[in-house]
Every structure is written in C-alpha cells, then in structure tokens.
Amino acid sequence: MRLLFCFIFAICFFSGKLSAEESLYAGQKKIPLLISDHHADHAVWIARQTGKQSAALLVVDAHADTAINNDRETVRAFINAGNYKNADTFIKNHNWIHPLTPAPLHSLAWINKISGVPDAARLAGFLKSTAAWNLKNIKCVNLDEIDSIPVGDGALFVSIDLDFFYYENYTPRDIPYVFDRLLDYSLKWKGDVFWALCTSLAWLPGVEYAWQLLEQSLMWLIPREEFTRPEVTLFTTNRYDTSRRAESFRMTGTEPPSLYLKEAAMPDALRDLFSLLENR
C-alpha cells in the first residue's frame, strides 16, 4: 500500500513537468546515473565510463573539491592500467577531481549558488588551485548562468553534491528547480551525458537531512525516463577522509559520519522510492 502511494504521488506531482525539449529525448541513449554518499566515488566511476573519451565536468557543490592530490600520477597510472580499485585508494572527497585532469576531463565548471555573485574567497581559491591543471575551459558560475557554459560534443559529467542544498539557505525543496535546469542543459549536449549524485553526510546537519535530500531527489528522478536505473554505492563504500572537515571531527574524538552499512536505518518511504527507481 505504501509503495502504491509513493507511485501515485510521484505521478501526480510531476505530471505535466516534462518540457517539449525533454520529450525529444525518447529513443536516444539514456543517461547513466550513480548515487553515492562520498563525492570521491564519482572519480573512478567517471574514469570507467569515459574510457578514452574526453569529457567536461559540471560540478554542483557547496565546495569546489579542487584541492591538490599529491598522488595524482599514481592514480592516473592505475587508471590507465585499468586498475580502478587501487586508483580509488588514493582519491579523497576534497581532491577527487585533480587526478582526472587534463584527461579525461578537459573542462571544469563549478556551480555553487543558484543565483548571485560567487563568494570572492571561494572563487579565488578555485581559480588558484586549478590554474596549473592545463584545462581547456574553467568556469565558476551560478545556476542561472548555466547557459554560459559552452555546449560540447564529447562527454558531459554532471556531478551533484547534495550538500549544495544545505549551504546558502537552500533546502530540499530547491531540488526540483535545480535538477530541472541541469537536465535542460544536459539535453542540449551533443555527446554522451552522465549524472552522479552524492549526499556527503559529513557536511550535513545529520542523517535525517540526508534522507530528506535523497527523498526529494528520488521523487524527481522516478518519472524521468531519460535516466537508467542507478548504480548505488550509498551504503557500501567506506572511506578514510583526510579533509579539514574530517579532521575537525577527529579532534572531538569521533569519525566523520557516513552512510556506510546504514541501509537498514533508511526510512521505509525512501526504501520504496529506491525500489520504484531501480525496478522500473
């Protein structure tokens, strides 16, 4: 009964939402989708998806994640050898992008606000850290400026950190608008498109907020036939984070919170939504 309710609610809530442009997506290749807790999970997933294909990365995140990865060459060597498991051990949530540049990622755009001027200090840090990465295009824009990002014909990776909906006073209610804008842009892309979401629990006020973010995300995704069934690593990836945020937790005697092995604690309504998405 609960499953039926979720299905009816999703159809009613989202009926009429698909634009004429989106309806043209029928018959085209669907968008692969990853749902993770850790943002670092996106790195190897991107590498596996691209192969030798060059790609642009669009990151929607409260943080740039462009810290220097001192193990970059080691990561790249493992990726080039197809040894993704070993490559993954040198990738962290705050430095996962660097090893993927300038190949397969040749361009990087960071969206950290829906509208308004980027924080000056964050923008300066983003530009400074990426200056030597030899990328073709580097941009920091707000979501309302998304159409200023050049549309290419290689692959596009849209990487969404759901902690975006905690900072700047954004909430889970902002997810449909943001996802709509991102999909509109994605459907203009001339090459393959990939989406990946992460919760980043350690950067949220608590696990209940993570469940709310996931619920809104899944409610938006369920009626969207543009996407494949997701690959889900929410509860199966355990990482030792070395970011300053992680160290602040350890200074209080605790490890950064994560969703690792917490599938049993997931609310039933959310479990039903995952079932709808994975079994459609």
> In degrees rounded to 5, what are phi and psi of residue 268?
-60, -40
Q: What is the pTM of this model?
A: 0.90
CA torsion sign for 241, 68, 70, 149 is positive
Report the pLDDT value the prediction gives residue 12, as an integer from 0 to 100.
46
One-letter amino acid for residue 276 of the chain: L
Phi-psi region of 27 (alpha: psi -120 to 50; beta: other; left: phi over 0): left
Is the per-residue pLDDT at 15 higher than 80? no
> Which alpha helices (DSSP H) does the chain contain, by range?
2-14, 20-23, 41-50, 72-80, 84-88, 120-130, 175-186, 207-221, 244-251, 268-279
Alpha carbons 211 and 36: distance in angstroms, whole number = 13
Alpha carbons 85 and 107: distance in angstroms, whole number = 25
Is the per-residue pLDDT at 185 higher than 50? yes
Alpha carbon of residue 167 to chain centroid: 16
Alpha carbons 129 and 117: distance in angstroms, whole number = 20
- Say if CB 260 and CB 238 are below 8 A apart: yes
pLDDT above 70 as % of the chain? 90
- Map residue 17 onto helix, strand or coil: coil
Query: For the segment 232-263, what is each residue's pLDDT rounded down to a tens digit?
Result: 999 999 999 989 899 999 999 999 999 999 99
Is the per-residue pLDDT at 26 higher than 50? no
- Say if CB 163 and CB 61 are below 8 A apart: yes
DSSP state letter for 224: -
Alpha carbons 69 and 47: distance in angstroms, whole number = 16
Please report the DSSP string for 76-116 in residue order: HHHHHTT-HHHHHTT--TTSSSGGGTTTTEEEEEEE--SSS
- Say if CB 118 and CB 112 are below 8 A apart: yes
Is the per-residue pLDDT at 267 higher than 90? yes
Query: For the segment 48-91, what is each residue's pLDDT rounded down to a tens digit?
Result: 998 778 999 999 999 999 999 999 999 999 999 999 999 999 99
Residue found by looking up tokens 């030792």 in the block: 240
Report the pLDDT value the prediction gives residue 28, as an integer from 0 to 100.
52
